[in-house]
Copies of this chain bind each other. A is one copy, B any other.
Amino acid sequence: MQSRESCALADQQDPLAGFRQQFAIPEGVIYLDGNSLGVLPKTALARSQQVIAEEWGNGLIRSWNSADWFALPTRLGDKLASLLGAAAGEVVVTDTTSLNLFKALAAAVRIQQQAYPTRRVIVSERDNFPTDLYMVQGLIEFLQQGYELRLIDENLSLEQALDEDVAVLLLSHVNYRTAYLYDMAAVTDLAHRYGALTIWDLAHSAGALPVELNAAQADFAVGCTYKYLNGGPGAPAFIWVAARHQDRFWQPLSGWWGHQQPFAMSSDYQPAAGIRRFLCGTQPIVSMALVECGLEIALQADQALLRQKSLALTDLFIELVEQRCGAHPLSLITPREHARRGSHISFRHPQAYAITQALIAAEVIGDYREPEVLRFGVTPLYLSYSDIWEAVERLRQILDSGSWDKPEFHRRSAVT
């Protein structure tokens, strides 16, 4: 039976407890939305001043060389690689997740046109994060080559969806709503047995749990630095391409930063060797430089310990909700099985929207997701066992008192 005291004790024994002090988290706030926007590393403000006042203000154009802005996408990519079970030279930090997905899709589709010229199916799942599906739809609609998007859902399993027509399998490693975690190695192996290439969206796994892209023999991956990697709002995303695929096709977003010699100013595109060909245009340097602050912290943490703590915290969350909020119609939609669970916890409740708003007013910041889902990001790097206790306690108070049922908590915002 968990108690406030048992949580405090767990905090005393937590080998990762020290990481919290590397972040500036507002006093009193219990932040359970690090899977949507990570918190502020304390080093970020000074770093931004350096980039803005010194590198931009004083260095001006010279900083492309002197501050090595030119190498930022690959330098950050190399650092990030070690969190993804990838090697240096396989990752660049650049653009947005959606755009990187388009590059991966386009490359995968074209590689497959050589291997299996008639395959025209891209498999994903109906419950995938919508932008992933939208990018596939955009590509299909534009290509007009008879491609179709086949969606896994309650009527079609992954095994049923895979056949000899499938060119590409695109999945989120961890589902943004339920936190369902795929077995990347097993699914990749299954896809390969059908001759399909895999693209993994790591938005909800990179930085949250160990990812092993090369061990899983995955083909492509994309993801986000502004969630568990604490890179800052809308910070540039990343793309990983298995070394064996990098030089097989030049992706169509072929801007000058992906050119072999960007400053030769040739009128013909010649893709750079390796991962640089997945770059396109000039990157937002201030936002990108801040990615390094969050990365530096993530790189200090033992990934196995992080995973262990994440599971302990989400176990605790489930246990406390069941112990203390059992009278309310909350139903867990996150897998109980550790091997299938990411690092957030979601419950359905008919009044999930208003409850989320009431929780935010009580400084427990989670978020709402359609339909009727209360979602709580559980970030082991800066959350404590006591935070989880306190969050569930405030949830219990809101539910028991019915204080969520006020007009202001039902009003919808632009971004929900």
A110 contacts partner chain B, Cβ-Cβ < 8 Å: yes
7 pairs across A/B with beta carbons < 8 Å?
Answer: A26-B60, A44-B52, A45-B52, A98-B280, A233-B282, A234-B285, A286-B290
Of all chain B residues, the one with the shortest Cβ separation from A149 is B267
Of all chain B residues, the one with the shortest Cβ separation from A67 is B233
B263–A415 contact, CB under 8 A?
yes
Of all chain B residues, the one with the shortest Cβ separation from A125 is B267
B282–A234 contact, CB under 8 A?
yes
A220 contacts partner chain B, Cβ-Cβ < 8 Å: no
Of all chain B residues, the one with the shortest Cβ separation from A33 is B61
Q: What B residues does A133 contact at CB under 8 A?
A: 267-269
A135 contacts partner chain B, Cβ-Cβ < 8 Å: yes
* A248-306 at interface with B (beta carbon < 8 Å): 250-259, 262-269, 280-288, 290
Q: What B residues does A52 contact at CB under 8 A?
A: 40, 44-45, 48, 232, 290
Q: What B residues does A138 contact at CB under 8 A?
A: 250-255, 269
CB-CB contacts of A63-92 with B at 8 A, as 1s and 0s?
A: 111001111000000000000000000000
Given contacts A57-B24, A60-B39, A252-B138, are A286 and B232 in contact (CB under 8 A)? yes
Q: Sorted from nearest, which 6 A-B pairs have the closest CB atoms?
A: A96-B281, A284-B287, A98-B255, A138-B254, A142-B252, A98-B281
- Whole-angstrom distance between the alpha carbons of A49 and B286 in the complex? 12
B53–A37 contact, CB under 8 A?
no
A167 contacts partner chain B, Cβ-Cβ < 8 Å: no
A130 contacts partner chain B, Cβ-Cβ < 8 Å: yes
Q: What B residues does A160 contact at CB under 8 A?
A: none
Of all chain B residues, the one with the shortest Cβ separation from A40 is B57
Q: Which one of A11-19, A365-373, A383-391, A396-404 contacts B? A: A365-373
- Whole-angstrom distance between the alpha carbons of A254 and B102 in the complex? 9
* A184-202 at interface with B (beta carbon < 8 Å): none
Partner of A253, one of B64, B98, B144, B284: B98
A99–B65 contact, CB under 8 A?
no
A151–B267 contact, CB under 8 A?
yes
Of all chain B residues, the one with the shortest Cβ separation from A94 is B96
* A209-264 at interface with B (beta carbon < 8 Å): 226, 232-237, 250-259, 262-264
- Whole-angstrom distance between the alpha carbons of A134 and B44 in the complex? 35
Shortest C-beta distance, A291 to chain B (Å), equals 10
A284–B280 contact, CB under 8 A?
no
Q: What B residues does A267 contact at CB under 8 A?
A: 126, 128, 130, 133, 151
A56–B70 contact, CB under 8 A?
no
